[in-house]
Structure 1
Amino acid sequence: MAFLEIDSQTKLYYEDEGEGQPVIFIHGVMMSSRFFHYQIPYFKERYRTINFDLRGHGRSSKVEHGHTVAQYARDVKQLIEKLKLENVILVGWSMGAFVVWDYVNQFGTENIKGMTVVDQSPSDYLWDGWDYGAFNFDAIKGVMQAIQENQLGFNSEFIFGMFKDKPDPDVHEWILEEMMKVPASIASTIVFNQTAVDYRETLSNVDVPALICFGRDDKFFPVAAGEYIQERIPGSKLVPFEKSSHCLFLEEPEKFNQVLAGFFESLKEG
């Protein structure tokens, strides 16, 4: 457990465990590194696992600036450089997948061995002719207003939408605790930015092996969004999770770990 200094005001909380090929886990908007608590103990036995909180989230600095997907990708770049990581595997869940794609836009894939996209459409916004988003303008306006006026109530209800089945009260409690660590000003800012980005054209630039994991219960995105990604990333593999919605690594952790482990092993053979 340590902190990485990005600038004079910004420090990222991270956990660096295990040895071997590095794997970086990147969480979703308003969430934290704590969501991967089933993955780190499993993978740190065979890999060097890097689990961190994006700026403004979890235990990282609550700075008021830099809350864009593009800046989060630059933060990942600094993390990789300052920890001297090579041939990195990136695992991006939800907005974390946006961070991965934005990283590709800015820096390419020279030091990236492979990537995993976890339940994220290439764009959250329902553009004309795009059906695999989650928000139109009125919806995102309503989300931002709810965060500003009743963050606790919004977050509490939001959690239920992330699971196929109603989560255990203890799970709901710790997730709500993590979400409330993000100040409302930061949450509404990054929610808007990550809704406005569009990575459909980025997919063709991904030239490393990619694993795509989607929950079958489509409270957020349909598996068809994963099929769209698979069709545009050559050689990528799509795995649906039949008993999950958005948090498949919590809903089906054993299957998730096994699928990722198989993918990681295949990268060693390549």
Structure 2
Amino acid sequence: MPVIDVNGASLHYIEKGSGTALICIHPPVLSSKNFRCQLEHLSRSFRVIAFDIRGHGQSKASKTPVTYPLIADDIKGLMDRLDLKKAFFCGYSTGGSIVLECLLSHPDRSLGGIVIGGMSEVNTKRVKRLISTGVFLSKIKAIHTIALGVSWSNSINMKQFRELYRDAKQCDAKNAEEYYRYSLTYNCTKRLEEINHPVLLLYGQKDTPFHPYAFLLQQRLPHNELYMIPNVDHRVPTKAYEDCNARIEAFIQKHVT
């Protein structure tokens, strides 16, 4: 099990392939295993790295509160330990918001970003309600309930469900609550114009609650490409992995110098 010490934390990570680096960032309670399809397929062309955020999956719990800036600094530390000067950052859901934070806080380490169903702020009632439910369930330590729901909804078969659930139920409740809670208040919308790197925006065509966030990013980011993946909702990395991977591969090849 590859584990690396970063900023005083012990982080589990998976790495496969060689060449241009792509670092994948998961949402609360899920883990690096949610990017299994990206690791398997995109590693044929790139060096793909997925890691477990503090207190998630096989990474140890953190006494330091989990925030987006802390996760972004951990990613920088992970890159330092793996001798990576620059990388593309790919995040799913709130992980996509962390991509934006990485591009803002560590532009010198960035090649570009891939935001899958992410947002620069949470400003709609439905998405606020979804994340607030995560805060509440984490606070009462109902991690197995969250783990069951997110693992089942992101799985395409029983084998994948068991793999996701095995990791998700290990999530530290306090760290999950911190991650969810920070997601409710994070707002980088006014700073999006500062991002000069190319950003790929991928959203499910059926994921209508998140479409306002897609259009906001499309309007505000200086260099972006927006694609609506057909016949899928929010669970793009697993349930539409072929289209998702094809878009990511074309985007990286287009912007690699």
Q: Which moved more, 1:97-106 or 1:249-258?
A: 97-106
Q: 1:151 to 1:19 in 2, by over 3 A?
A: closer
Aligned counterpart in structure 1 of residue 171 of structure 2, from 182, 185, 188: 182
- Say whether residues 1:235 and 2:227 are aligned partners: no
Aligned to 1:2: 2
SS of 2:189's partner is: coil
CA distance in 2, matches of 1:51, 1:196: 25
Shift of 1:5: 0.7
CA distance in 2, matches of 1:213, 1:238: 6
Answer yes or no: is 1:225 the counterpart of 2:213: yes
Per-residue displacement from partner, 1:105-156 (whole Å, max 9, x unpaired)? 323x2231111001012112x3xxxx387115xx755543323333323443
Residue 18 (str. 1) matches residue 9 (str. 2) = no
CA distance in 2 between counterparts of 1:142 and 1:257 reads 30
- Distance of 2:203 and 2:132 partners within structure 1: 26
Offset from partner CA, 1:168-204 (integer Å, 9 cap, x none): 4554443333221112122112211122111212321
CA contact (8 A) 1:69 1:102 kept: yes
More helix by share: 2
> Which segment drifts farther, 207-216 or 89-98?
89-98
Matches within 5 A, 1:1-270: 1-8=1-8, 10-107=9-106, 109-124=107-122, 126=123, 131=124, 134-135=127-128, 142-149=133-140, 150-158=142-150, 162=153, 168-218=157-207, 221-268=209-256
Shift of the 45–167 alpha-carbon distance from structure 1 to 2, 3 Å rule, reads closer
Over the matched positions of the two proteins, sequence identity in percent amounts to: 20
Question: Does the CA contact (< 8 Å) of 2:232 and 2:239 recur in 1?
Answer: yes
Once residues 131 and 235 of structure 2 are traced to their aligned partners in structure 1, the CA distance between those partners, rounded to angstroms, is 21
Structure 1 unpaired stretches of 5+: none
Tell me if structure 1 keeps the 8 A contact 2:25–2:91. yes
Partners in 2 of 1:102 and 1:133 — Cα distance?
23
Q: Which amino acid aligns with 1:6?
A: V
SS at match of 2:128: coil
Answer whether contact 2:148 2:165 (CA < 8 A) is retained.
yes
Tell me if structure 1 keeps the 8 A contact 2:119–2:213: yes
| TM-score using structure 1 length | 0.85
Gaps spanning 5+ residues in structure 2: where?
none
Q: Which has the larger radius of gyration?
A: 1
